[in-house]
Structure 1
Amino acid sequence: MGRGKTTRILILGGGYVGLYTALGLQRKLRGAEASVTVVDPQPHMTYQPFLPEAAGGSIEPRHVVVPLRKALKRCHVLTARVTRIAHAQRTVTIEAPDGHSEDIEYDVLVVALGSVARLMPIPGLVEQGIAFKTIGEAIFLRNHVMSRLDAASTTLDPEQRRKYLTFTFVGGGFAGIEALAELEDMARFATRYYDNIEPDDLRWVLVEAAGRILPEVRESLGVYTVLQLERRGIEVYLSTLAKSFENGHVVLSDGTEFDSDTIVWTAGVKANPVLADSDLPLDERGRLKATAALRVDGLDDAWTAGDNAAVPDLSRIEEDPAALCAPNAQHAVRQAHLLAKNIIAVLRGRQPKEYYHKNVGSVASLGLHKGVADVYNIKAKGFLAWGMHRGYHVARVPTFNRKFRVVADWLLSGLLRREVISMGQINNPRAEFDRVSRG
């Protein structure tokens, strides 16, 4: 990077790390000091903690995403998928929506590709499972759940009706618990508009391989959450594996079997597999090896953070020298803020700082007016925890525009109650056109 040359900074990924890093860079870079390019398959960043409320109808789906081009006015945004990283040549290969590929050259690389759903070799999972990481999946799941109520209300087959009204969630982390709780809340509310469906007709099942749920909070709150779910009639299977989902027939490791027309898979994530097709150093779990200063290990001009990075957790280094930061939004957002500062510091000849953050706790929503929280060693339940959850996340969602819209959604849904309707046509908008065309 010679003097007088505009440094080309390339950010791979437009999620938490990509967006917040780009926002920090565009605020602090001087004139032609550097150009910033962000590459992501989607033209928006998704604030994932609000996906359950978007699926449950408390927030308008468009308000949980941040348009990259609108937020990053001083950056170049490319809507494309990264297919290969060749750092030795300082090039990244991308695939555009029209299918053509091209190479992009850079001087400084930021890898923020995040994670993808971690699938298991379970028969029927690929065919029957629904993931819950994108706004598209959240909208699809909301429409799917409501359409199952519509189908159950009209079928004459009692076995098919039971299958339609059985909803199975696999994975007891934040994503699975919050999605399950919000959708159960929504569906139970919706039954008042069906003459032949009662809340007790709905069957909700949670399957978790570990012996507890919500490992991010203290165990007593995990136990409390299980009790609250069970009081709502939700069946919770702990220390239980899913063995098969073929044709919607669920088989569990304890011998339990039942039919379910809705199977939601939230059982963990893994680093973006694109990293495997790169010359960057990876750990045994496929994540980029990183220093505490958020540099890719052994490289001065490559940086990383978030779910795809194995960043040392300095707050736990004394008790566990090999401790790494957990793959969650709390770390990703804070790492991104430091990452932007470190890149600018190095551009200006200064030393980068190391990332240090002691986990302050976690908050989770369990549906309208219900939640759990474990913050600064203070635990909260019910309405207070639910309020803490909303307050924390509206403060963290990027841009004032989105904060305002989310709060407005909450106020309107509180005054007018949530909308409960299936708009399943958007999943296959050409179906009616094709039917008419066939005469």
Structure 2
Amino acid sequence: MAFNQLAKDRPRLLIVGGGYVGFTLAQKLQTRIKESGGVVTVVDPNPYMTYLPFLPEVSAGNIEARSAVIPHRQHLADCELITGRVESIDHANRTVTVHGIDEGPEFELTYDEIVLAGGSNTRTFPIPGLADKAIGMKTIEEAVSVRNWVLERIEVASLTNDEDEKRKALTFIVVGGGYAGSETIAELEDMARSAVQRNDLLKVSDLRFVLVEAMGRIMPEVSEDRAEKVVAEMRARGIEVLLNTSLSEVDGDLVKLINMQDKSPAGEMATDTLIWTAGVQAASFAKNSDLPIDDRGRVRVGADLRVTGNDGPFEGAWAAGDIAAVPDLTGAGPGGFCVPNAQHAVRQAATMAKNIMAAHKGEPLEDYYHENLGSVAGLGLYKGAATIRGIDLGGLPAWAMHRLYHGYAIPTVERKVRVFTEWGVNLLFGRDTTPLRHLRDPRRAFQKAAGADVPAEKASL
């Protein structure tokens, strides 16, 4: 559908973002809005929703990449879908400016109601050299690239006689000890261990995994006691956990560390692999709007999920998920707001769907209220950590709960079946540790065959 063929004569509910909130909301409302004579329009630069809790498992090869994403066009068939970015919002005139991907057209789109569901982006800091060296763990493409890169570094290390180069290739640093970082380093170490055990030229002791965390503990989502046990278990596996430590500079392949307590140098190490998972921030497009945002760039909303300023709610404007400062009525959230996680986002979308339909009928709106039941994390095969209603679990029980919960939570029956099937195949036949080469430069083989001057491969993510 060309942009000039978009609906112009029907009331439009515009959803900006097709992640947890946007996808769930669109799925719940698409048929009802269509039957009432309106249209649900979803704008997102990706044609799919990414199930973020599965990124560490994708990076470790437990799940195929496509099984961790849910395609919009397959599951939002009654929606109007636009693969592009919302650059600015003029709510006073109910208009947004949309830019198509890959230098696509820029055009204005009108709406009757708008939902800001743009989620969050990776948060970085002005560390010299970081942008040139590191990779995140926020997109499916990053997870796939990290998997193949780690396995490729193992193959490269197995064929070098230079001990310094070997040590650099087999040193893997993850910055950020939240759920994303802890799960990523644990899953990658588990995969790398399996890969090295299949390689007669290397030993497991050749691997070096380092988790760098600026705070004095990891995984704030679980109890402090459980977090300390996870650190002990990681160190028993040979994973170095450096607390109260951060990066001061990245100079080529050399990562320099700093002690966060006294700001003194905390050592340095050479590596080919630097993965950044040190937090997220609200998507920035909301700043280019006339809607109220807080000092952290989040859209201000009331407990009923309507965008709310100093003078009250903005009619026809809603927001939820990571991009919104949603009040946590349980009183448990930091600063009085819901933490940015999938558990809240999906439930907020369900509440918003009810409220949007209630608003159309002139009925009272419902406040969002959800008590966090707990958290689960997978830390490699048969390893995990969980805090459920104040009860701490580790090892196999926590790992099983992690898989059961997220296998259930990923949207659509089709994706659930794919995920559980892949888990079953891996348990039966073992983990696949085959790297797919040249994903970063897939035309390389053809260019060489065609006689082009192909530069030497570079050891860089």
TM-score strictly above 0.5:
yes
Q: 2:405 aligns with which of 392, 395, 398?
A: 392
Letter in 2 for 1:326: V
Whether 2:158 is the aligned partner of 1:150: answer: no
**Which deviations, in whole Å up to 9, do the C-alpha atoms of 1:370-404 show, x marking residues without a partner?**
00110111111100000000111111100000001
Shift of 1:123: 1.1
Alignment of 1:92-107 (within 5 A): 92-99=96-103, 100-107=105-112
Letter in 2 for 1:215: P
Whether 2:95 is the aligned partner of 1:80: answer: no
| Corresponding residue of 1:307 | 322
Alignment of 1:23-422 (within 5 A): 23-29=27-33, 31-99=35-103, 100-254=105-259, 255-297=266-308, 298-316=313-331, 323-422=336-435
Letter in 2 for 1:95: H
Shift of 1:51: 1.1
- Tell me if the contact between 1:6 and 1:32 (Cα under 8 Å) persists in the aligned partners: no
Shift of 1:154: 1.5
Partner SS for 1:38: strand
Distance 2:37 2:388 in 1: 41
**Which deviations, in whole Å up to 9, do the C-alpha atoms of 1:17-50 show, x marking residues without a partner?**
0000101112544613421000100100000111
Partner SS for 1:223: helix
CA RMSD of aligned residues (A): 1.4
Distance 1:46 1:116 in 2: 13
Q: Relative to structure 2, which stretch is displaced further, 132-141 or 83-92?
A: 83-92
Partner SS for 1:368: coil
Letter in 1 for 2:49: M
Partner SS for 2:439: helix
Distance 1:83 1:431 in 2: 35
Shift of 1:196: 1.6
- Tell me if the contact between 1:24 and 1:341 (Cα under 8 Å) persists in the aligned partners: no
Letter in 1 for 2:300: K
**Which deviations, in whole Å up to 9, do the C-alpha atoms of 1:38-86 show, x marking residues without a partner?**
0100100000111111111111111110000111111111111121111
Distance 2:402 2:197 in 1: 28
Shift of 1:122: 0.6
**Which deviations, in whole Å up to 9, do the C-alpha atoms of 1:146-172 show, x marking residues without a partner?**
111111111222111110000000000
Distance 2:161 2:207 in 1: 17
- Tell me if the contact between 2:302 and 2:327 (Cα under 8 Å) persists in the aligned partners: yes
Shift of 1:98: 4.3
Distance 1:431 1:185 in 2: 31
Letter in 2 for 1:332: A
- Tell me if the contact between 1:63 and 1:405 (Cα under 8 Å) persists in the aligned partners: yes
Whether 2:425 is the aligned partner of 1:423: answer: no
Partner SS for 2:164: helix
Distance 1:260 1:98 in 2: 33
Distance 1:98 1:400 in 2: 32
Shift of 1:351: 2.0
Where does structure 2 lack aligned partners over 5 or more consecutive residues? 1-8, 260-265, 454-461
Shift of 1:137: 0.5
Shift of 1:113: 0.5
Distance 1:34 1:375 in 2: 42
Distance 2:181 2:86 in 1: 28
Letter in 2 for 1:300: E
Whether 2:30 is the aligned partner of 1:19: answer: no
- Tell me if the contact between 2:34 and 2:78 (Cα under 8 Å) persists in the aligned partners: no
**Which deviations, in whole Å up to 9, do the C-alpha atoms of 1:236-282 show, x marking residues without a partner?**
01011211122021111142111011000000000111122111101
Q: Relative to structure 2, which stretch is displaced further, 338-347 or 399-408?
A: 338-347
Partner SS for 2:252: helix
Distance 1:264 1:214 in 2: 17
CA gap of 1:142–1:430, structure 2 versus 1, over 3 A, is same
Partner SS for 2:327: coil
Partner SS for 1:77: strand
Q: 2:447 aligns with which of 415, 434, 438?
A: 434
Distance 1:197 1:429 in 2: 28
Distance 2:385 2:413 in 1: 26
Letter in 2 for 1:10: L
Shift of 1:193: 2.1
Distance 1:407 1:53 in 2: 13
Distance 2:377 2:417 in 1: 21
Letter in 1 for 2:212: V
Distance 1:96 1:179 in 2: 32
